[in-house]
Structure 1
Amino acid sequence: MIGLSKIKHFYNLFYLRGMSKLSIVIPAYNEEGSIVETLESLYQALQQAEIDHEIVVVNDNSKDQTLSILENLQKSISSLTIYTNPGPNGFGYAIRYGLERFKGDIVAVMMADLSDDPQDLIAFYRLMVEKNLDCVFGSRFIKGGSTHDYPKHKYIINRMANTIIRMLVGIPYNDSTNAFKMYRKNTIEGLKPFLSAHFNLTIELPLKAIIRGYSYDVLPNSWRNRKAGQSNLKIKEMGSRYLFILLYILIEKYLSRNDYLKK
């Protein structure tokens, strides 16, 4: 006899997967050297996995040929949607622009510089559907995770920052600054309004989700340093912005009297 847990498992695998369109929001600023390989590899992987999807690229007012390259790619990538963020500009603003416009039931945030692996995206999606989770987060620093050509000074700052976040917020998740994460559409709605304009959005979204009681799981993911272009992350400029979001999270956790918990 098939147990209830197995029936639920098969329901999630077949019915919910069929009903769960995946959107991928990708911010892009001056990514002419990476965007073609990033989108072509992503599209090919999603097609092979037979996942209903849309790829939403937000051109963050690029000064190079990123936009014209994107427009040309639409001829070969049928699921590609392009927006140009008129401003204000910045990593966080670009993602927020995409999060207001995606059409799927599930949304993932990925980078335009080929640092994230499309196979990890597929694993995230399948886990979310199978377990009916609200969020799936990646960690490069658990068993199975990896980094390639990670600058040493950034690695040290990353591990220190994540240790501080984990201790202060009281969570086991050890890679909050990782941009590669996935959410259900109703989870995104429950995390609004967004406060971050820049890379601090990478910690605002997961920390809000965790303290507000949304279900999540963590999978290992790989990260590769960009092959072309320059990183837009300026560590000296981001310290106070990360601290601002962290302080907000602590205030909400300890003083909001559960007003923002998932209903």
Structure 2
Amino acid sequence: MIKVSVVIPTYNEELAIKENVQRILATLDEIEDTSELVLVNDGSVDNTLKIVQEMAENDQRIRIVSYGKNRGRGFAMKIGFKQARGEFVITTESDLNWGSEIIKQFVEELKKGDADIVIASPHIKGGGMVNVPFHRWLLSYLGNRVFALVLPGRRTMSTGMTRSYRKEVLDALDLESESKVLHVEILYKALDLGYRVKEVPATLTWKKPEPGEVVRKSHFKVRSIVSHLLMSLDVRPFLFFGIIGIILIALGIIAGFYLLFVSLGGTSVAGRPLLFFSILAIIGGMQMLIFGFLASQNRNIKRQIIRTQKLVKEFEKSDNEV
């Protein structure tokens, strides 16, 4: 039986894929457990597929899943999860910016038995970022701070893909996202089901460009930022709508007291724009609070659906075993 599955999505990695696969295999050699490397070719148009196919001929641990159209990281990872046969499933980036030794660290952490998901984080003591542009670090830090507010527990890294899972966790989840938001979806659904999540310090290192080499660009697009914000809204809607509602009501009350003070001085406030603003702000704030409450109820219903889906999957699994 396979103990450790390493799932790596790849897209146009012909310049580095051979060396990085060799590094992963060398790390797996140091692990006493049986292992496999699942490479998901996400529609590469260069020689990535050809290179890994040649490597697979010489190492039975390499398994390749490939399709013609680029579908994005989330889709590739879901395909990889389905193909993984190990008790532990580890995911990381094909360029090994977190290093290959993180694989051994993940295996050791899962063997301790105190976590079902282990996440590599550069934002805790012992972790860090090397050669990463400041704006990219800032986006990562702020984005993860937002999710720290909406997800239960104290977490510093909710958006990264370099993680390890017990296979039972992935089997219990009905995943919908096909983009980078998948990482957050996995996390909040796993937490809803009561799975234990742990962070370990790790260092993200971007390779320094050689003279004449094209400088690496960050792929953190505006669309990705928006999708992550929408996901945070879905996870804890009352935090968003509640804050807006309270602010509007507070502004309306402040404006109302000001107008009351003015009217007590003998000045008419009828027809003043500030009067209409005060009324509309209070009404709008109350509507926001109501909407936030309804959205929270909807979130609770979704949480129950997630738990029901897990029970159904467990029942189907036990039924098939019988």
Matched, 1:157 2:139: yes
Q: Distance in 2 between matches of 1:95 and 1:237?
A: 19
Query: Normalising by the residue count of structure 2, what TM-score does the alignment of the two structures yield?
Result: 0.69
Query: 1:163-182 residue pairs with structure 2 within 5 A?
Result: 163-182=145-164
Name 2:203's counterpart in structure 1.
Answer: 222
Structure 1 unmatched ranges of 5 or more = 1-18
Structure 2 unmatched ranges of 5 or more = 238-294, 312-322
The Cα of 1:195 is off from its aligned counterpart by: 2.2
Name 1:49's counterpart in structure 2.
Answer: 31
Count of residues in Structure 1 that have an aligned counterpart in Structure 2: 244
Structure whose residues are more often helix by fraction: 2
* 1:141-161 deviation digits (Å, cap 9, x = unpaired): 111112211121111111111
Secondary structure of the structure 1 residue equivalent to 2:198: strand
Q: Tell me if the contact between 1:115 and 1:223 (Cα under 8 Å) persists in the aligned partners.
A: yes
Matched, 1:58 2:61: no
The Cα of 1:234 is off from its aligned counterpart by: 3.7
Name 1:256's counterpart in structure 2.
Answer: 300
Tell which has more relative contact order, 1 or 2 (C-alpha 8 A, sep 6+).
Answer: 1
**C-alpha spacing 1:156/1:234, structure 2 compared with 1 (3 Å):** closer
Q: Tell me if the contact between 2:131 and 2:205 (Cα under 8 Å) persists in the aligned partners.
A: yes
**C-alpha spacing 1:187/1:253, structure 2 compared with 1 (3 Å):** farther
Query: 1:127-206 residue pairs with structure 2 within 5 A?
Result: 127-131=109-113, 133-192=115-174, 194-206=175-187
Matched to 1:244, the amino acid is L
Q: Distance in 2 between matches of 1:88 and 1:146?
A: 31
Q: Distance in 2 between matches of 1:51 and 1:227?
A: 34
Name 1:37's counterpart in structure 2.
Answer: 19
Matched to 1:241, the amino acid is S
Q: Tell me if the contact between 2:123 and 2:141 (Cα under 8 Å) persists in the aligned partners.
A: no
**C-alpha spacing 1:94/1:253, structure 2 compared with 1 (3 Å):** farther
1:237 corresponds to which of 211, 215, 223? 223
**C-alpha spacing 1:33/1:141, structure 2 compared with 1 (3 Å):** same
Q: Distance in 2 between matches of 1:88 and 1:104?
A: 26
Secondary structure of the structure 2 residue equivalent to 1:147: strand
The Cα of 1:35 is off from its aligned counterpart by: 1.0
Q: Distance in 1 between matches of 2:111 and 2:77?
A: 23
The Cα of 1:118 is off from its aligned counterpart by: 1.9
Query: Normalising by the residue count of structure 1, what TM-score does the alignment of the two structures yield?
Result: 0.84
Matched to 1:240, the amino acid is V
**C-alpha spacing 1:247/1:212, structure 2 compared with 1 (3 Å):** farther
Q: Tell me if the contact between 2:42 and 2:70 (Cα under 8 Å) persists in the aligned partners.
A: no
Q: CA RMSD in A?
A: 2.3
Secondary structure of the structure 2 residue equivalent to 1:30: coil
Matched to 1:116, the amino acid is W
Matched, 1:210 2:191: yes
**C-alpha spacing 1:155/1:42, structure 2 compared with 1 (3 Å):** same
2:233 corresponds to which of 247, 251, 256? 247
The Cα of 1:59 is off from its aligned counterpart by: 0.2
The more displaced of 141-150 and 242-251 is 242-251
Q: Distance in 1 between matches of 2:208 and 2:36?
A: 25
**C-alpha spacing 1:231/1:203, structure 2 compared with 1 (3 Å):** farther
**C-alpha spacing 1:144/1:20, structure 2 compared with 1 (3 Å):** farther
Matched to 1:122, the amino acid is K
**C-alpha spacing 1:214/1:170, structure 2 compared with 1 (3 Å):** closer
The Cα of 1:222 is off from its aligned counterpart by: 1.8
Q: Tell me if the contact between 2:125 and 2:201 (Cα under 8 Å) persists in the aligned partners.
A: yes
* Higher CA-based Rg: 2
Q: Tell me if the contact between 1:166 and 1:172 (Cα under 8 Å) persists in the aligned partners.
A: yes
Secondary structure of the structure 2 residue equivalent to 1:38: helix
